A and B are shown apart, each in its own frame.
Chain A
Amino acid sequence: MEYFVFKVRDRYFAIGAHYVYRIVDDLMVTPVPLLPACYEGLSYYRGELFDVVNADIIVGKEKEASKKSAYIILLKWDQHNLGLIPDHIVGLKWIDEENPQETDLMVDGLLVKVVTPEAVWQSISGMDYGPEKI
């Protein structure tokens, strides 16, 4: 099965290639108030809205200014639209494991953790709201 591999804070993550809708750059992100720090805002791409989150802050759990990557990974699953901003993208990789979610795998010499968009979404929903209070 093919996975899309990207890098966040010196760690490699893989996400199922069938979740990936598109990799885009130069997408305008509109900020939304009263949301967790990792929530960058909303983006409009080809007639659909995407929630854009900063993977850097999710992984590090720090409210630091993210190193803006040029790319946004747009994910689509079960009516969900999510934009993920990684530090760096690696590309599509083939992973043989049947149920790879549980452990870290070695792929082409890289230690990769397989995640699902659902898990990413879940991790966001448990977060505090952002510092900006209206």
Chain B
Amino acid sequence: MKRTSIKNKMILSFLLLLLIVMVVVGVMHQITGEFYTALAISAALALIAGIFFGSIFSRSLLGRLNSLSKVAQEVSRGDLSKDIPLLSVDEVRDLEEVFKTMVKHLRGMISEIKTVAAQIETTNKNLSELTGKVLSNSQAIAKSGNAIAESSEKQSIIVQETSIALSKGLESMDEMSERSGKTVSAIDDARRKAEQGEANARDTLKHLDNVLKQMMEYAKPIYRLSGKVEKIRMVMSVLNEVSQKTDLLSLNASIEATRAGEMGKGFALVADEIRSMAENSRHSSQQIGRIVEDIFEDNKAVMESLKNSEAGISRGREIINGIVKTFAEMLSGVQSISAEVREVEEVTRKQVKEMRGFLVRFKELAQLSQDNFMYTQKTTIGTKNQEEDIQKIYDAMQSLGSLSKKMMETQQKFRVNE
């Protein structure tokens, strides 16, 4: 359809109206022959036609404007689904086209907004999930940090205690090494004394041997004496027998004398004398026998005691031999002990050295655990701050989510044909 402007339409209608009037006037004039009546009738006719045309015209214009305004109202309510009908071919059509373009643009914008809002929502969702995870992670980190802090605190306490114990141990080990040094000197002393003791015991043994030899020398005459005493006893027994026999003989002699009567009196006296002599000699021999017996007993006792002392001396020898042996054993024992104690001393010294190293290391370790504790504290604080920040982020995201929701809601208000 060809486009026509309203101005042209108006002009055309006016001209058509004028033509109609002129035609009517001419007709009337012919019919009536009166001009004025014809003019009045044509004017009336022209007025009627004008009203009729004007009303038709205005009606068509108004109708289009009305439909446009209806659409505009729909748009204002958010309904962008309706299309604008392009009915006219005049200036209103421009308006309609502009309106249509606007609606089209609006539609595109809203759909873009919709997609953006959806994207924002999904992103927000993802973000909030992520944030939640980060939050939980950071909480876990905080927990672990706390645990690490506690452990490192405990560790540092343990390390400190250990280092105290270690230093105490070091002290006692120092003391021990000092003591073992003293022990070594005491053992040396003991060794010297044992050596001296052994030498002394050997000397004693020698002296004892000498004494034994001398005693044997002295004992020899005593042994000989016992033999002699035995001989004396034999002689004594012979003497005894002789005296007994003499006694008996004198007794028999006196009996014989008695039987001889008066003649035997003198003989009897002699026999008596002999008898008393025999008695005396018997007494004497008994006394000698007693004395000899005493001597024998004494000798026996002396011999016994000699034997005893000999046995005692040999026992003493044995004992001293044992002592010498013991001293030798003691000496070797003391030597081995001394070597062992020396070794122990050396080992203890080494140990002390190593333990000192340990102590230094432990101090470092204590420092490290202290540092650890501090760092973990800092980490905890950082994770707390992070948590707070994340909370803030979360809050912001919540608000963003609500914003996007609002946006979606707002966007929902628009109806767009997809």
**Which residues of A (7-33) have their CB < 8 Å from a CB of B?**
17-18, 20-25
Q: Which residues of A contact B258 (CB under 8 A)?
A: 2, 17-18, 92
Could you tell me which B residues sit within 8 Å of A by CB distance? 244, 248, 251-252, 254-255, 258-259, 275
Cα–Cα, bound, A91→B252 (Å): 10
Q: Is the CB of A50 closer than 8 A to any CB of chain B? A: no
Cα–Cα, bound, A18→B264 (Å): 13
| Binary flags per residue of A29-73, CB closer than 8 Å to B gives 1, else 0 | 000000000000000000000000000000000000000001100
Q: Which residues of B contact A17 (CB under 8 A)?
A: 255, 258-259
Q: Which residues of B contact A2 (CB under 8 A)?
A: 258
Cα–Cα, bound, A91→B251 (Å): 7
Q: Does the CB pair B248–A18 fall under 8 Å?
A: no
Within 8 Å by CB of B248, from A4, A21, A23, A92, lies A23
Q: Does the CB pair A22–B252 fall under 8 Å?
A: yes
Q: A22-B252, A91-B251 are in contact. List 17 more A-B contacts (CB 8 A).
A: A4-B255, A17-B255, A17-B258, A20-B255, A23-B248, A23-B251, A23-B252, A23-B255, A24-B248, A25-B244, A25-B248, A70-B244, A89-B251, A91-B275, A92-B251, A92-B254, A92-B258
Q: Which residue of B lies closest to A1 (CB)?
A: B258
**A31–chain B nearest beta-carbon distance, Å:** 24
Q: Which residues of A contact B259 (CB under 8 A)?
A: 17-18
A-B contact pairs, 23 of them (CB 8 A): A2-B258, A4-B255, A17-B255, A17-B258, A17-B259, A18-B258, A18-B259, A21-B255, A22-B255, A23-B248, A23-B251, A23-B252, A23-B255, A25-B244, A70-B244, A71-B248, A89-B251, A91-B251, A91-B254, A91-B275, A92-B254, A92-B255, A92-B258
Cα–Cα, bound, A20→B252 (Å): 9
How many residues of chain A have a CB within 8 Å of chain B? Answer: 15
Residue among A22, A70, A71, A92 having the largest count of chain B Cβ atoms under 10 Å: A92
Q: Which residues of A contact B248 (CB under 8 A)?
A: 23-25, 71
Secondary structure dominating the interface of B = helix
Q: Which residues of B contact A71 (CB under 8 A)?
A: 248
Q: Which residue of A lies closest to B259 (CB)?
A: A18
Q: Which residue of B lies closest to A24 (CB)?
A: B248
Q: Which residues of A contact B244 (CB under 8 A)?
A: 25, 70
Cα–Cα, bound, A33→B251 (Å): 33
Please provide the 3 A-B residue pairs with the shortest distance between their CB atoms, ordered closest to farther: A17-B258, A2-B258, A20-B255
Q: Which residues of A contact B254 (CB under 8 A)?
A: 91-92
Q: Which residues of A contact B275 (CB under 8 A)?
A: 91
Q: Which residue of A lies closest to B250 (CB)?
A: A91
**A65–chain B nearest beta-carbon distance, Å:** 24
Cα–Cα, bound, A70→B244 (Å): 10
Q: Which residues of B contact A25 (CB under 8 A)?
A: 244, 248
**A16–chain B nearest beta-carbon distance, Å:** 9
Q: Which residue of B lies closest to A16 (CB)?
A: B258
Q: Which residues of A contact B255 (CB under 8 A)?
A: 4, 17, 20-23, 92
Q: Which residues of B contact A89 (CB under 8 A)?
A: 251
Cα–Cα, bound, A91→B244 (Å): 14
Q: Which residues of B contact A92 (CB under 8 A)?
A: 251, 254-255, 258
**B221–chain A nearest beta-carbon distance, Å:** 38
Cα–Cα, bound, A78→B275 (Å): 29
Q: Which residues of A contact B252 (CB under 8 A)?
A: 22-23
Cα–Cα, bound, A74→B137 (Å): 150
Residue among B252, B255, B259 having the largest count of chain A Cβ atoms under 10 Å: B255
Cα–Cα, bound, A18→B254 (Å): 11
Q: Which residue of A lies closest to B261 (CB)?
A: A18
**A67–chain B nearest beta-carbon distance, Å:** 18
Cα–Cα, bound, A22→B275 (Å): 15
Q: Which residues of B contact A20 (CB under 8 A)?
A: 255
Cα–Cα, bound, A4→B251 (Å): 10
Cα–Cα, bound, A71→B252 (Å): 12
Q: Which residue of B lies closest to A70 (CB)?
A: B244
**A89–chain B nearest beta-carbon distance, Å:** 8
Q: Which residues of B contact A18 (CB under 8 A)?
A: 258-259
Q: Which residue of A lies closest to B271 (CB)?
A: A92
**B97–chain A nearest beta-carbon distance, Å:** 187
Q: Which residues of B contact A21 (CB under 8 A)?
A: 255
Q: Which residue of B lies closest to A22 (CB)?
A: B252
Cα–Cα, bound, A21→B254 (Å): 11
Cα–Cα, bound, A72→B259 (Å): 19
Cα–Cα, bound, A50→B310 (Å): 60
Cα–Cα, bound, A67→B255 (Å): 25
**B271–chain A nearest beta-carbon distance, Å:** 9
Q: Which residue of B lies closest to A17 (CB)?
A: B258
Cα–Cα, bound, A18→B259 (Å): 6
Cα–Cα, bound, A114→B397 (Å): 168
Cα–Cα, bound, A18→B255 (Å): 8
Q: Which residue of A lies closest to B254 (CB)?
A: A92
| Binary flags per residue of A81-117, CB closer than 8 Å to B gives 1, else 0 | 0000000010110000000000000000000000000
Q: Which residue of A lies closest to B279 (CB)?
A: A91
Q: Which residues of B contact A4 (CB under 8 A)?
A: 255
